[in-house]
Amino acid sequence: MALDRRNFLAATGATTATGAWSATEAEAAPPPTVPISGLGIDAAHLGVRAASQEDQTGAIQRAIERTAGARLPLVLAPGTYFVRELTLAPGTRLIGVPGATRLVSIGGGPILASRDADHLLLSGLWLEGTGKPLAEGRGLAHLVRGRHVHVRDCRIVGSGRHGLALDRIEGSVGGTTVTGAAATAIFCLDAQGMTIAGNTIRGSANNGIQVWRSETGDDGTLVLDNRIEDTGAKDGGSGQNGNAVNVYRAGNVTVRGNQIRRAAFSAVRGNAASNLQVLGNTCVGSGEVALYAEFGFEGAVLAGNTVDGAAIGVSVTNFNDGGRLAVVQGNLIRNLVPQRPAGTDPGDGAGIGIGIEADTAVTGNVVENAPTAGIWIGWGRYQRDVTVTGNVVRNSGVGVAVSVAAGAGAAVVADNLISGSKRGAIVGMDHKRLVGELTRESVQRHAQLAINGNAIR
């Protein structure tokens, strides 16, 4: 017999989606302690026992398969459910009571897993791991290949690797809290169209949100309005870890409106990520470069961000490896520090507000308290077609540093206000060697430079 909605309700005596019970059904199955009518099918009617010390994997798995086939939501009442890996069938809608429906792992793998399953909804679930290491790339919830997949208002704690792992998924993650992930809180690989918005991430051991692709290409993931705090770099490295948001090989990604505090390395790090937009984020207490566009990218917009505390506020770099083409506009950057985290190249810079190299416009930014330089243009010969206009630089070591090394390309420094620079307002550099202040006479010796209209205080 086909399990359509009418046959399902007749066979199980469960509540309907409108919560209407017959008198006979009500006598046979007393209503649950917490009213859940109107949400879906009460899992208790399918043999699932809330707050039981016994393994509930089999009962919940059978309930998932029956309700998913009928496209009916399955509701888990408040309580603790001890489970091993549950497989989500296409059409699964698994709903709990936020903060009260706990699925606790008693196995060595994910709590929830899917493969080739479309139209999934996970809502109001608390997934709790034991901290026992998961296999490489695995998450406490691990979803592979699916469209119309949505995770809402869940809580994921104590994962032994990733909190939520998404592989070739189209959908959204919203209103979800991930704490204490042993690797990455939300790992998104080869997205098919993802929105990751309004989540809270705390205490990830290596990275907060990673948007990666197996090969360089279009991605389009939106990372919006998340709160990401205390991101560590447990596994070390020179930037592979310690990033609140890490975009790798993924093109056309937008990172906007996030509140990011105390990332061990970067608040937002784009690596080989073309057309990356980093807009309106607040980044406090970053250990290395707060906002990074590096290696093999073409196109980045970093605008309207606030950076308070970092070794470098904004870095658009690696022209030697194809990194080029950016707009750095309207950012507020202050309180830079003169050292970088352990493990990074000791020759790399620190104490810099904005560092750029090629095909970039820097305009309308305010930089304050940069002990090395407010704005640093180029590195040796890696400098091409840069404009630095209309910025305010206050209380820096050097106001604007610009490469005058052999082979350095064109730069325009115009109409900036530079105040309180201790080692020179606009200074020529040969790599790290300070060549001298670029006065009108000295600029004439460097035909590639145009410096005019700046106000020096």
pLDDT in tens, 291-348: 999 999 999 999 999 999 999 999 999 999 999 999 999 999 999 999 988 888 777 8
pLDDT at position 455: 97
The confidence score (pLDDT) of residue 443 equals: 80
Angle at 304 between CA 325 and CA 313, to 5 degrees: 70
Whether the predicted pLDDT of 433 surpasses 90: yes
- Report the pLDDT averaged over residues 60-67: 97
Distance in angstroms (rounded) separating the CA atoms of residues 174 and 181: 17
Helices 57-69, 5-12: inter-axial angle, 10-degree rounding: 150
The stretch 189-210 carries a mean pLDDT of 98
Q: Pick 30 or 178 by higher pLDDT.
A: 178
* Least confident residue range of 90-104, 264-278, 345-359: 345-359
> How confident is the model at residue 38, as a pLDDT?
64
Q: Pick from 173, 183, 196: which is nearest to 231 by CA?
A: 183
Taking the C-alpha atoms of residue 286 and residue 268, their distance in angstroms, rounded to an integer, is 10
Q: What is the mean pLDDT of residues 31-54?
A: 76
**What is the reported pLDDT for 4?**
45
pLDDT surpasses 90 at 48: yes
Q: Quick check: 34 pLDDT over 60?
A: no
Q: What is the predicted pLDDT for the residue at 124?
A: 98
* Cβ neighbours, 10 Å, residue 329: 18
Angle at 379 between CA 272 and CA 245, to 5 degrees: 30
140 pLDDT above the threshold of 60: yes
Q: Which pLDDT value is given to residue 104? A: 97
Please determine, for residue 396, whether its predicted confidence score (pLDDT) is greater than 80: yes
Least-confidence region, from 12-26, 116-130, 212-226 = 12-26
The confidence band for 374, taking pLDDT boundaries of 50, 70 and 90, is: very high
The reported pLDDT for the residue numbered 423 is 96
Cα 39 from chain centre: 31
Least confident of 9-18, 181-190, 387-396: 9-18
* 206 close to 214: Cβ distance less than 8 angstroms: no
Domains of the chain: 1-205 (2.160.20.10), 227-457 (2.160.20.10)
In this prediction, residue 32 carries a pLDDT of 38
Percent pLDDT > 70 in the chain is: 92
Tell me the C-alpha distance between 393 and 419, whole Å.
Answer: 6
Determine the pLDDT at residue 347: 75
Q: What is the mean pLDDT of the chain?
A: 91
pLDDT at 129 over 60: yes
Mean pLDDT of 337-360: 91
What 3-state DSSP class applies to 313?
A: strand
